[in-house]
Each structure stands twice: as C-alpha cells, then as structure tokens.
Amino acid sequence: MTGPDAAPARIDTSRPHPARVYDWWLGGKDNYPVDEELARRILAVDDTAVRGARANRRFMQRAVRAAAEAGVRQFLDIGTGIPTEPNLHQVAQGVAPESRVVYADNDPIVLRHAEALLTGSAQGSTDYVHADVREPGTILDLAARSLDFSRPVALSLVALTHYLSDAADGDDVHGLLKRYVDALAPGSHLIVSQVTPDLNPEAVGRAAELFARNGTPFHPRSLTEFARFFAGLRLLGPGIIPVTGWRPEPVDVAAQAEGIVPVYAGVAVKP
Ligand SMILES: C[S@@+](CC[C@H](N)C(=O)[O-])C[C@H]1O[C@@H](n2cnc3c(N)ncnc32)[C@H](O)[C@@H]1O
C-alpha cells in the first residue's frame, strides 16, 4: 500500500464523503450518519441514485471482463471506492488469474478498507495507492511498480469524473485524462462512466446542488463533453450509452427494465 499519505489518515465524520454516500446507496456498512443523511436527501430528489450506483458497479464488472477477455492483463482503477464484492481484481483475475491490478483513491476510508482489495490470486498481484487523481505523476509512478506501461493497461475511472471540474474551474478533467491516456501503450482500454444532465436534468441538477452544498463540487456532463474523454481512441460497441445499456448480461435485464439512469458509459481502445 503506497502513496503520499499512506499512513492511516483521520476519517472525517463531520461531513459526507462521496465514497461513503455511494456505499450507503450500495447497501454497504462503511458509512456514517452524515453520509446516510445526504444519500437519503439526494435519493429524495433523484430516485435513480440507488439504481445508478448498482448500475455503475455492474458496468465496471462487464467492462473489466471485456478488457480481460480481449487479452488485457493489467488494470489501473482510479476512484476505486469502498470494497464491494466482486471487486475489480476479482473480475479480472476470474478471467485471467495472472492479472495485475493497482487501485487508487484519495479517501482515508478506502485506504482503511484496502486490505480487502489486496487479496488477489497467487499468480497475479494487487496494490493500492492512496493518492488523488489530480496527481497523475504520483499515481503513474507508483502504479509502475507493479504495472508495465509498455504493455496494455485497462484504465478505469468509473463514477469519478463528475467530481472533477473543467479547466476553467481548476481541475482540467480533460487535460488530466489526456495525461493518463498518453501514458498508456497501444491496445490499452479506457473505461469511464459519469453522471449526465442529458437524461434527467431537473433531478440531476438538484442532486448536484446537494452534493455541492455539502462540500463536494459535482459536475454532470453532456454527451458531447463526455465523448471528449475518448478523443483519439476507438470506442468499442455499443459506443457511448446510458450505463445499463453497455453490453448488458442476462442478470442486467431486470435493472434495465426499472428505467434509465442518468449516467453515460463508454469503453475505448488506444490504437
Ligand atoms: C462514486 S465512487 C465510485 C467507486 C467505484 N469506481 C465504482 O464505480 O463502484 C467515487 C470514488 O472516487 C473517489 N474520488 C473522488 N474524488 C477523487 C480524487 N480527486 N482522487 C481520487 N479519488 C477520488 C471517491 O473517494 C470514491 O471512492
């Protein structure tokens, strides 16, 4: 377990954290009353929040399986979240036990639970980096201790980019993604999902406002803005699509029938 602040950091229970709010929506136990309160308030204005969290998790699993089945054996997952089975390494190593996985997140609660992410197969490896996605140099350097960046890597940023602002507001999410994608070898996969205002603008707007008022700036993005993440890459079928529609498996059909969730998803390959 590595990273600039890998010593146990204090968990702030005085304000909600996105990882813990998401954990509440997923039915997890690693959240505090402040998180539950915000999760419930968002759910009251956007009744897709629980379905959206589950749909994201399922998308991560399908996209990782697709990358592993395409032959990718290295995975870098930024914005990992609190462990929720099956975790990414379990999916990747389920296809290819020799898969090497590096997780990265900046929340102390994810660091505290990282042991659950470090229990991979004997043939493969898992590592955890405690760092912020806005420090690509740190994450890429530390990931390079177990990943070989001259070979394909699947980079997953699932339900992360809506916490990052555009260039004008400081984070430069598109510049950041370019920095990561530039570090990848041909054949690498980029797996991204994020909340959009296109599909349910009023509910998403109110949810974003609640996040922002509680200390987490939130940036839903249109289809055009989301598509920019994949500039220069070859999108895999079915392209950019609401998250439940990305290569659904039989188990996902019931979720699809419950209705659309305002989250775009896409997977692309670096030529
Ligand atoms: C909604 S959760 C998604 C978890 C997982 N990717 C999934 O889809 O199931 C977002 C995660 O991104 C992390 N996160 C938010 N901002 C971050 C940042 N600037 N750097 C690293 N991680 C961040 C949060 O701590 C949280 O664990």
3-state SS, one letter per residue, for 109-121: HHHHCHHHHCCCC
Predicted model pTM: 0.97
Please check whether residue 9 lies inside any domain of the structure. no
Please check whether residue 157 lies inside any domain of the structure. yes
Number of domains forming the structure of the chain: 1
Query: Which is it for strands 263-269 and 189-195: parallel, antiparallel or unpaired?
Result: antiparallel
Looking at residues 16-44, what average pLDDT do you find?
97
Residue 20 in contact with residue 32, Cβ under 8 Å?
A: yes
Give the pLDDT band (50/70/90) at residue 169.
Answer: confident
What spacing in Å lies between the alpha carbon of 181 and ligand 1's midpoint?
18
Among candidates 226, 136, 227, 222, which has minimal Cα distance to 180? 136
Give the pLDDT band (50/70/90) at residue 4.
Answer: low
Please check whether residue 8 lies inside any domain of the structure. no
Whole-number pLDDT of residue 8 = 58
Give the pLDDT band (50/70/90) at residue 168.
Answer: confident
Inter-CA distances, 155 with 21, 81, 112, 188, 215, Å? 24, 15, 23, 8, 27
Q: Taking 70 as the threshold, does the pLDDT of residue 2 lie above it?
A: no
Q: What CATH number did the domain enclosing 238 receive? A: 3.40.50.150
Q: Domain of residue 176: give its range.
A: 18-269
What's the pLDDT tens digit per position in 237-262? 999 999 999 999 998 988 888 998 99
Whole-number pLDDT of residue 10 = 86
92 in contact with ligand 1, CB cutoff 6 A: no
Please check whether residue 13 lies inside any domain of the structure. no
Please check whether residue 85 lies inside any domain of the structure. yes
Whole-number pLDDT of residue 183 = 98
The encoded tokens of residue 203 equal 């509910």
What's the pLDDT tens digit per position in 29-39? 999 999 999 99
Please check whether residue 5 lies inside any domain of the structure. no
22 in contact with ligand 1, CB cutoff 6 A: yes
Please check whether residue 154 lies inside any domain of the structure. yes
38 in contact with ligand 1, CB cutoff 6 A: no
What spacing in Å lies between the alpha carbon of 237 and ligand 1's midpoint?
25
Whole-number pLDDT of residue 7 = 57
Using the atom order of ligand 1, give the atom closest to the CA of residue 193: 8
Placement of tokens 């993604």 in the chain? 177
Whole-number pLDDT of residue 254 = 86
Is the sign of the CA dihedral 22, 25, 31, 37 positive or negative? positive
Please check whether residue 142 lies inside any domain of the structure. yes
What spacing in Å lies between the alpha carbon of 79 and ligand 1's midpoint?
3
Q: Which residue, judged by its Cα, is nearest atom 27 of ligand 1? A: 81
Angle at which helix 33-45 crosses helix 201-213, to 10 degrees, equals 160
